[in-house]
Amino acid sequence: MINLIQNIRAKIETGARISDDEALDLFACDDLLAVGELAALANHQLNGDKVYFNVNRHINYTNICVNRCTFCAFSRENEEDEGGYTLALNEILERAAEAQDAGATEIHMVGGLHPDLPFDFYLEIMAAIKADSPGLHIKAFTAVEIDYFATLTEQSPQQVIEELKAAGLDSMPGGGAEIFAPEVRQKICPEKISGERWLEVTEQVHRAGLKTNATMLFGHVESYADRVDHLSKLRQLQDRTGGFQAFIPLAFQPDNTRVPGGKGVGGVDALKTLAISRLYLDNFRHIKAYWVMLGMKVSQVALAFGVNDIDGTVVEEQIGHDAGADSPQQLSKEQLVGLIHKADKQPVERDTLYNEIKTY
Ligand code: V47
Ligand code: SF4
């Protein structure tokens, strides 16, 4: 164990890459603080003491979804199901305008794969938000939606991406990645596009000039080897495109879900996973703690475990809260700044593309 930590330290200090086997050994390592210290060192080399946050608003336009992933407590089969909804264009615009008035720089917009909404609806949303609230960066959809729109319109993903870009899409979040391994996907999201397809579509998005994030849903039925495989595929894609901005490990919330044996994530596993992500993904500049899923306390401690981004104000979150997340619905800018300061770090408000807006 001592050898493992010493070897990884030497690699971090010389900028050498850690191997898949070393990443697996780190997952098996009981010395959480040693792993965290290495991740903090790697992060410090990249980002110093800065911790980024942004002022944003999530909008989930519909929870009607043809996929019905077993880990998802948010989705409904149709509008008649209890809690099923689809927002009208004017409701989406109201939320975006409220966000802009509250100082937001970003709209984060994703939703279910609705069986009846036409592709034009999404183009209309993009164009209307841009016309109404031109200051907002629209970060929306994932490789899963792009593939769905391509099927819907009988076009290639490239054509769909170009149309969305022309209508106002500025970048994409990192959802839908889950765990790439096919055996795991079979259990948690059998109807969703394969991991291979997620990577392929994301590569096309990067080639079209849009930045995206990447996520990993962990703490359900996957093994450590599945996590390392997931990280490895992301590192390889990032080597080819450089299009990823942040990596966001999403801690599985088990309430109201249908994952057989899915149990959720403890603090130790969450911190170790964030730290190993920082160590392994040497070509990702940012590792983000998504406080909605991790909770406020683990997110704050994560800042000493290699994390340099703590997401945003969020305002209205459904996906995690429907699955039992006990975090607040939103945080104010002051709460985020306070949380970062108390971890002895430098809070920096950023825009979606990591341009610095203000240092606190
Ligand atoms: O793809 C669904 C996950 C994702 C559950 O890119 C769940 O900046 C935990 O991708 N427990 C959507 N997670 C959220 C997402 C995201 C969030 C914040 C920032 C960014 C970004 C992206 O939420 C889904 C899925 O992986 N999810 N159900 C659940 N029960
Ligand atoms: Fe649909 Fe996304 Fe939920 Fe899966 S995670 S059921 S694709 S909304």
Average pLDDT over residues 91-98: 96
CATH number at residue 248: 3.20.20.70
351's CB contacts (< 8 A; 6+ apart) are: 54, 105, 106, 137, 357
* Residue 262: per-residue pLDDT: 77
177's CB contacts (< 8 A; 6+ apart) are: 142, 143, 195, 198, 214, 215, 216, 217, 230, 234
Tell me the per-residue pLDDT of 110-124, one tens digit each, with 9 for 90 and over: 999 999 999 999 999
Residue 313 has pLDDT above 80, yes or no: yes
* Residue 22: per-residue pLDDT: 97
Q: Does residue 69's CB lie within 6 angstroms of at least one atom of ligand 2?
A: yes
Residue 19 has pLDDT above 80, yes or no: yes
Residue 293 has pLDDT above 80, yes or no: yes
Taken in order 269, 272, 276, 277, the sign of the CA dihedral is positive
Torsion of CA 289, 215, 271, 299, to 10 degrees: 20
Q: Does residue 12's CB lie within 6 angstroms of at least one atom of ligand 2?
A: no
Residue 117 counted as domain residue: no
Helices H, strands E: what count in the chain? 14, 10
Confidence of residue 2 (pLDDT cuts 50, 70, 90): confident
Confirm if 171 and 352 have CB atoms less than 8 A apart. yes
Torsion of CA 120, 124, 127, 132, to 10 degrees: 180
- Domains held by the chain: number: 1
* Residue 76: per-residue pLDDT: 97
- Single-letter amino acid code for the residue at 285: R
Mean of all residue pLDDT scores within the chain: 96
Average pLDDT over residues 232-241: 98
Chain centroid, CA 93 distance in Å: 24
Q: Does residue 110's CB lie within 6 angstroms of at least one atom of ligand 2?
A: no
275 Cα: distance to centroid of ligand 1 (angstroms): 19
Tell me the per-residue pLDDT of 43-88, one tens digit each, with 9 for 90 and over: 999 999 999 999 999 999 999 999 989 999 999 999 999 999 999 9
Q: Does residue 112's CB lie within 6 angstroms of at least one atom of ligand 2?
A: yes
Which tokens in the block code for residue 299? Answer: 């997110």
Going by their DSSP bridges, the two strands 106-110 and 56-60 should be labelled as parallel
Q: Does residue 104's CB lie within 6 angstroms of at least one atom of ligand 2?
A: no
- Please state, in angstroms and rounded to a whole number, the distance separating the CA atoms of residues 132 and 105: 14
Q: How many CB atoms lie within 10 A of CB 26?
A: 25
State the residue for tokens 């397809």. 197
Average pLDDT over residues 294-304: 97
Confidence of residue 295 (pLDDT cuts 50, 70, 90): very high
Residue 208 counted as domain residue: yes
The structure's pTM equals 0.98
Residue 201 counted as domain residue: yes
* Residue 210: per-residue pLDDT: 98
Domain membership of residue 295 as a residue range: 2-54+140-359
Residue 194 counted as domain residue: yes
Residue 1 has pLDDT above 90, yes or no: no
Taken in order 121, 123, 125, 128, the sign of the CA dihedral is negative
Average pLDDT over residues 160-176: 98
- Please state, in angstroms and rounded to a whole number, the distance separating the CA atoms of residues 209 and 277: 25
Average pLDDT over residues 212-230: 97
Residue 31 counted as domain residue: yes
Composition of the chain by helix, strand, coil, percent to 5: 45, 15, 40
* Residue 90: per-residue pLDDT: 96
Torsion of CA 101, 105, 287, 246, to 10 degrees: 140
Residue 6 counted as domain residue: yes
Confirm if 119 and 150 have CB atoms less than 8 A apart. no
- Best residue among 60, 64, 68, 197 to mutate for probing ligand 2, ranked by most atoms within 8 Å of CB: 68
Protein residue with its CA nearest to atom 21 in ligand 1: 173
Return the DSSP state at 226. H
Tell me the per-residue pLDDT of 317-357, one tens digit each, with 9 for 90 and over: 899 999 999 898 889 999 999 999 999 999 999 999 999 99
Range scoring the smallest mean pLDDT among 87-91, 128-132, 263-267, 355-359: 263-267
- Please state, in angstroms and rounded to a whole number, the distance separating the CA atoms of residues 22 and 24: 5
Residue 277 counted as domain residue: yes
Q: How many CB atoms lie within 10 A of CB 190?
A: 12
Task: Provide the CB-side half-sphere exposure for 348 (13 A, CA).
Answer: 17
- Best residue among 62, 67, 78, 151 to mutate for probing ligand 2, ranked by most atoms within 8 Å of CB: 67
* Residue 63: per-residue pLDDT: 97
Beta bridge partners of 58: 108
Average pLDDT over residues 6-21: 97
Residue 274 counted as domain residue: yes
- H/E segment holding residue 122: helix 119-132
Protein residue with its CA nearest to atom 24 in ligand 1: 175
Average pLDDT over residues 228-245: 98
Relative to the alpha carbon of 106, which ligand is closest? Answer: 1
* Residue 260: per-residue pLDDT: 84
Q: Does residue 75's CB lie within 6 angstroms of at least one atom of ligand 2?
A: yes
Q: Does residue 54's CB lie within 6 angstroms of at least one atom of ligand 1?
A: no
310's CB contacts (< 8 A; 6+ apart) are: 51, 52, 53, 288, 289, 291, 299, 303, 336, 339, 340
Q: Does residue 65's CB lie within 6 angstroms of at least one atom of ligand 2?
A: yes
* φ/ψ of residue 18, rounded to 5: -90, 150
